[in-house]
Amino acid sequence: MSERPFILFFKDISYKDVPLVGGKNASLGEMYSKLTPKGINVPDGFAVTAEAYKYFIQKNHLDDKIREALKGLDTHDVLDLQRRGRMVRNLILNAQMPKELEEEIRKAYRILEDEYGKNLDVAVRSSATAEDLPDASFAGQQETYLNVRGEDAVVDYVKKCFASLFTDRAISYREDKGFDHFHVYLSVAVQKMVRSDSACSGVMFTLDTESGFRDVVYITGSWGLGEYVVQGKVNPDEFYVFKPTLKLGYKPIVTKRLGSKDVKLVYGSNPRKPLKEVKTTYDERKRFVLDDEEILTLARWAMIIEEHYGRPMDIEWAKDGDGKTVGTGKLYIVQARPETVHATKEQKFYEIYKLKGEGKVICTGKAVGSKIGQGKARVILDVSGIAEFKEGEVLVTTMTDPDWEPIMKKASAIVTDKGGRTCHAAIVSRELGIPCIVGTEVATKKINTGQEITVDCSQGEEGRVLEGIVPFEVERIDLEHLPKTKTQIMMNVGIPEQAFAQGQIPNDGVGLARLEFIIGSHIGIHPLALVYFDELKEKAKTDKKIAKLVKIIEDRTYGYENKAEFFVDKLAQGVATIACAFYPKDVIVRLSDFKSNEYANLIGGFLFEPVEHNPMIGWRGASRYYDPKFEPAFALECKALKKARDEMGLTNIKVMIPFCRTPEEGKKVISIMEKYGLKQGENGLEVYVMCEIPSNVVLAEDFAKVFDGFSIGSNDLTQLTLGLDRDSELVSHLYDERNPAVKKLIKEVIQTAKKMKRKIGICGQAPSDFPDFAEFLVECGIDSMSLTPDTIVKTRLIVAEKEKELEKQRSKEK
């Protein structure tokens, strides 16, 4: 037998062994030996080393034969690539496993059997020794085999892993990255299976995979074995946990998003087919795969792993549902590798893609990235058809796996029926920098080959496939040379899914965080329909319309015994997502400002809302909060904000009261807030008032005695000052925030706020739309401007220039 080490058990491996066992296997060994003492569970196992692979190749005299097979290869000729790849793999598969190497593998497997039982089920995983370098990810280039049992099978699958060093996608990838095929070797991990087939598994990253935001752990999970999450065969559950306050002992699960999870991969009873696909039950589809404590445990482990390796990580986890050989209900880390897309990016520029027109929506799915791509569609349902694909086309398929990579790099965009944000198509698209929409469910049915389409990922979480070639533009923002300003430049934010990306635009916090989108889209149900759900259930027994409504609410709130808690959780998570994206900077959350007609449009709203002839100046804002008819609904808002601040540790959240007509109303609202746990001044809680009614200006001194600051709502202030309906086309020509009457009121309230030593900003549209209005506000000495994200940079430049000009004037006057 050779003196070179063919086998290393995980306990004997550290990260210095990368040349011997590959990146993933070195990580497994490193975690097994160094991180299990810190409470992380890692399944036992051993690595068949790169020395064993080299020995196998040398003993069978395969070097020259492989070189000859790959001589003159053109990876862009897909058919030639497939032919040569098959030839090399057959050379390896038909070769003999050297006796001494085979015996070493059998002996190591028997040691595992002694520990965990006869006929032990193991995973046989490949790991290339040049894998997952900082600027190149080899993830998925080689094969993984699950539920392998018995010595003979383990030896056979180790050889199959050796052959997978020359899959078509691995050959293509190495050629494109400039790696020598004979300087990349293969190691194989033989790892005790975690019985996630009877529980759940998934993938997590120590950053947000879309924006690169570093302060969250992003976790995905589905029922059964993890291959389906990686491959994109399921739309998994998604969770985000905020790292900075998790470190402080809080429980900051800022997002929980339910995936469809239609199928799962489980153990099969046939040794020749060790795995099988089964449909999930209704309960499994409607239930999260992890409870809150498990989510937090995985997030803590992810942070420990990231800290250990000193860089963002891509980690696979599994939960054991068996208990016979490992431990019932335990969570395990089964793989970890460096994240290679965002970790190496230098954020010197921020790009904003904007459509300049519109097209008919063909289908929607989850957007990967924020770019726009377009071209002729090529619908390919099977990997055997990839030779038909032409450069610059849009790839439309059910899902991708690593075999598709030779054509993915030639695509202008990718659209799939299946998959979530951590599936293969999503990961490769990010690395290639091309727009991708996953999980559309219907793209291959609705899109035809040759059809011109636009793939739009610029609108946030939802990606849209549009008919035709829709024109678009790209704005490139230089992040390195932006001037600082005395006036705070804040942002208006309303969609949590866009917050991580928007938070990376230079800003001084959020001057207006709206609740309306979260309530309308994430919740969709009138709060009082949830508060009085039990009464509705009683009425449903005799009223078919109410019965239909109850069924809709039950479906949306599945798993919640107390339906009102659904509202609290969803609102808390939406606000927390925005707050953590800008943490520790202030995030000023305006309490709900729906009018009665808008509330009536929510599910069940018609039961609780009056019909008003002019809802714009009717029952809205502050007047709702203390009204006994609406107070139970307002209580849910207070509880949600308290949860985000107290349980998640996001004390950068401040509160703002809209449409407060009198100082007395303000006092009533503050009293009601305190009743439900939001006490002004406690734990740094500041309460602001919108200045959007002339009475807010006229009585500004009195309002300043009640509130910590003002935020000017120039939209409503303009219509109420000029006495017009801003939604009416008949008088729209008169609507102008720059009207002297409006500007006079704004100047007056800024002066009063300064006199009363209160903060004052503006969150209306005016400074975003009119540069001269922004200059006017600087002249008045306003503390902050909160703007739409697309105008932040240009307004900062205008403000900096105006501040410089005023400073020169002051110097001259001195």
Task: Enumerate the active-site residues.
Answer: 424, 763
Cis peptide bond N-terminal to 658, omega within 30 = no
Cβ within 8 Å of residue 355, ≥6 positions away: 372, 454, 456, 458, 470, 471, 472
CB-neighbour burial class of residue 236 (10 A; exposed 0-12, middle 13-18, buried 19+): buried
CA distance 760 to 274: 66
Q: What is the dihedral of CA 674, 677, 683, 687, to 10 degrees?
A: -40
What's the Cα-to-Cα distance from 385 to each of 271, 407, 442, rounded to whole Å? 31, 11, 19
Residue 472 dihedral angles phi and psi, to the nearest 5°:
-145, 165
| DSSP code of residue 525 | B
CA distance 593 to 599: 9
Tokens in use for 158?
């180790």
Tokens in use for 170?
């691995």
What's the Cα-to-Cα distance from 561 to each of 408, 531, 533, 668, rounded to whole Å? 46, 12, 10, 32
CA distance 780 to 710: 15
Tokens in use for 512?
């207006």
CA distance 9 to 42: 13
Cβ-count burial 716-729 (b if 16+ within 10 Å, e if not): bbbbbbbebeeeee
Q: Which residue has the tokens 């996953």?
A: 438
HEC profile for 332-346?
A: EEEEEEECCCCCCCC
Where are the extended beta strands (E) located within 271-355?
Answer: 273-279, 313-319, 331-338, 349-355
Beta bridge partners of 201: 222, 318
Contact between 223 and 261 (Cβ < 8 Å): yes
Whose CA is closest to 220, among 235, 198, 231?
Answer: 235
Whose CA is closest to 673, among 564, 764, 609, 589?
Answer: 589
Contact between 278 and 266 (Cβ < 8 Å): yes
Cβ within 8 Å of residue 685, ≥6 positions away: 645, 651, 654, 655, 678, 679
- Over its C-alpha atoms, the chain yields an Rg (Å, rounded) of 30
| DSSP code of residue 256 | E
Three-class SS state of 161: helix
Cα-based angle 371, 372, 375 (whole degrees, multiple of 5): 145
Whose CA is closest to 223, among 160, 270, 286?
Answer: 286
Tokens in use for 281?
């039950």
CA distance 662 to 660: 6
CB-neighbour burial class of residue 291 (10 A; exposed 0-12, middle 13-18, buried 19+): exposed
Contact between 213 and 236 (Cβ < 8 Å): no
CA distance 723 to 28: 69
Beta bridge partners of 477: 350
Whose CA is closest to 740, among 722, 760, 713, 766?
Answer: 722
